[in-house]
Amino acid sequence: MITGHLIGALLMLSWRSMRRSLFHLGGLGLIPLGILDSSVLPLPGILDVATLVLSARQQQLWLYYAMMATSGSVIGGFITYRLSRKGGKKVLERKFSRRKVDKVCEIFER
């Protein structure tokens, strides 16, 4: 069984490698992060944190970082929009029961 200390160590390790990659890529690294965050794999808050961390390191580039994060987010939103327009409710009905799909659609309509 995995202990809390081991989980904490794994999270810290992944954060370190992610932070190192983010610092290496800079603003360009925010684009794929934004695409992931706004599309099929939501990563709540990670894009905001990454933008803040980079902006804190180089304050004069804050607008550049904000624009890169926004660009990635817009691209991810567009991808999600196109996927939903292409498949939409029919794709959901193939993967889930009609009752579940109707319930989800009802919640979103409210």
**Amino acid 80: pLDDT:** 82
Mean pLDDT of 50-77: 92
Integer Cα distance of 19 and 96 in angstroms: 38
- Enumerate helices (H) and strands (E) in the chain, giving the number of each: 6, 0
Q: Where residue 59 falls among pLDDT bands split at 50, 70, 90?
A: very high
pLDDT of res. 1: 44
How much is the pLDDT for 75? 93
Amino acid occupying residue 72:
G
In the predicted model, is pLDDT for residue 8 greater than 60?
A: no
Q: What is the span of the domain harbouring residue 8?
A: 4-109
What letters, b where the CB count within 10 A reaches 16 and e where it falls short, cover 72-94?
A: bbebbeeeeeeeeeeeeeeebee
The whole-number pLDDT of residue 10 equals 47
Mean pLDDT, the chain, as a whole number? 79
How many domains does the structure of the chain reveal? 1
* Nearest residue to 38 (alpha-carbon basis) of 70, 4, 1: 70
* Integer Cα distance of 102 and 110 in angstroms: 12
Angle at 14 between CA 11 and CA 17, to 5 degrees: 150
* CA pseudo-torsion sign 83, 84, 89, 93: positive
